[in-house]
Amino acid sequence: MDKKLFVSSSPHVHGQVSTPAIMWTVVLSLLPATLWSFYLFGLPAVTVVLGTVALTAALEAISNKVAGGPLALRDGSAVLTGLLLALTLPPGLPLWMCGAGAFVSVVVAKAFFGGLGQNLFNPAMTGRVFLLIAFPAAMTKWLVPRGTGESLLGHPVTAYDTAGKLVELTSAKVDAITAATPLGLLCEKGAGAVAAIQNSPDLFIGQLNGSLGETSAAFLLLGGLFLLVRRIITWHIPVAYIGTVAVIAAITHAVDPAQYASVAFHVFTGGLMIGAFFMATDYVTSPMYPMGKLIFGVGCGVLTMVIRLWGGYPEGVSFAVLLLNACVPIIDNATRPKKFGLTKLAAA
């Protein structure tokens, strides 16, 4: 029988945007920052990134098989989770620790909750926080970028020593140098220790020690803008998040410059860029509506700054995003927009 009339429920117009397309676009947008980290940190960075991505994908395939569902590996979400996780790790982290993080990300934070779309917490952030709590020593051993005396873009390579002083690295004899991150210095020694660098362009370009993906604010910003232009993400969360951080940094810096670092320092260091553009905007674990997104972003910003300025940890992005992830159902409930044509009486 030939059916002339098809009756189906809405939506009738399909956007032709599939989950894999979105995931691979985000992976693409992270490539500049990833390649930059390869260039800065060399082989340790390559090992961490490739190892973490491979392990995450393998664990995703295994957990799909165990759960008995369809193989969700091809949608690219596991590769994206692996890449995001790798970018929050310090270069040179032992591979088995990367594997432990990958396990927590994909199996504990995602598969246990029912797979992609069901997870309450951002998988990559959960993996990172697990590693941070599980291996505090290994997770805070930061390699100094390109510390072998080679020059970069025509500039001599510099790094900041424990006193926060700019030193030129000329020794070609060392394998690797480690030092505290700028935020680590701020946390331990106060704004005085980072006074020399808090308005330096290095913060933006990313010639700093830190996690693989947190070094270059510029490349992450590039990736984030690409996502905005492709309309993969909306502006609400990144703008609210970074804006809140900037406002709090401006106020505290104005009150006491000796104790609190500048706006540029707080905005361009640490995991803020990758957190605001790539972690907090995760579809599954962020609010659905514009108003909710703004609340979510502001909440992340406030928590991040509270942890950075007054908390025990130097960096608070991962904790802030996870804590706000837990609030998403409440935020969504509170900010549900009124349906068109619905009166107040009917809604209640």
Partner 1 sequence: MANKTSLLGEITKGLWKENPILVLLLGCCPTLAVSTLAYNGLGMGLATMVVLVGSNFLISLIRPIVPKSVRIPIYIVVIATFVTIVDLLLKAYLVELSRNLGIFVPLIVVNCIILGRAEAFAARNTVGRSVLDGIGMSLGFMAALLVLGSIREILGAGTLTLWVMGETVVKFNLLGENYPGILVMILPPGAFIALGVLLAIRAKIQKRLDTARS
Distance CA 292, CA 280 (A): 12
Q: Does 136 engage in binding with partner 1 (CB under 8 A)?
A: yes
Q: Does 103 engage in binding with partner 1 (CB under 8 A)?
A: no
Q: Does 133 engage in binding with partner 1 (CB under 8 A)?
A: yes
Minimum separation from the CB atom of position 316 to partner 1 (A)? 18
**Among residues 17, 35, 43, 134, which is the contact residue for partner 1, using CB under 8 A?**
134
Distance CA 278, CA 272 (A): 10
**Among residues 113, 135, 289, 313, which is the contact residue for partner 1, using CB under 8 A?**
135
Binding segment toward partner 1, per CB under 8 A, in 51-59, 130-138, 184-192, 324-332: 130-138
**Among residues 61, 138, 246, 309, which is the contact residue for partner 1, using CB under 8 A?**
138
Instruction: Name the residue nearer to partner 1 (CB basis): 98 or 242.
Output: 98
Binding segment toward partner 1, per CB under 8 A, in 135-143, 197-205, 229-237, 243-251: 135-143
Q: Which helix (H) or strand (E) holds 283?
A: none
Q: Which of 133, 161, 135 is nearest to 313 (CA)?
A: 133
Using CA atoms, how far residue 282 sits from 11, 113, 123, 306, in Å, is: 23, 16, 10, 23
The SS3 of residue 166 is strand
Distance CA 160, CA 166 (A): 5
- Looking at residues 107 to 126 of the shown chain, list those that interact with partner 1 (rule: CB under 8 A): 108, 112
Q: Does 100 engage in binding with partner 1 (CB under 8 A)?
A: yes
Minimum separation from the CB atom of position 109 to partner 1 (A)? 11
Measure CA 138 to chain center.
19
| Exposure string for 200-215, b = 16+ CB within 10 A, e = fewer | bebbbbbbbbbbbbbb
Measure CA 301 to chain center.
13
Minimum separation from the CB atom of position 95 to partner 1 (A)? 14
Q: Which residues pair with 143 in a beta bridge?
A: 178
How many residues of this chain bind partner 1 (CB under 8 A)? 10
Minimum separation from the CB atom of position 158 to partner 1 (A)? 31
Q: Does 137 engage in binding with partner 1 (CB under 8 A)?
A: yes
The SS3 of residue 160 is strand
Query: Are the C-beta atoms of 269 and 181 separated by less than 8 Å?
Result: yes
Q: Give the list of residues 6+ apart from residue 42 with CB closer than 8 angstroms, or none.
A: 146
Binding segment toward partner 1, per CB under 8 A, in 127-135, 240-248, 264-272, 304-312: 127-135
Relative orientation angle of helices 19-41 and 217-229, to the nearest 10 degrees: 160
Q: Does 265 engage in binding with partner 1 (CB under 8 A)?
A: no
Q: Give the list of residues 6+ apart from residue 217 with CB closer than 8 angstroms, or none.
A: 203, 204, 205, 206, 267, 268, 269, 273
Instruction: Name the residue nearer to partner 1 (CB basis): 111 or 208.
Output: 111
Q: Does 130 engage in binding with partner 1 (CB under 8 A)?
A: yes
Instruction: Name the residue nearer to partner 1 (CB basis): 137 or 342.
Output: 137
Instruction: Name the residue nearer to partner 1 (CB basis): 108 or 284.
Output: 108
Instruction: Name the residue nearer to partner 1 (CB basis): 100 or 284.
Output: 100
Summarize as ranges the residues that interact with partner 1 (CB under 8 A).
100, 108, 112, 130, 133-138
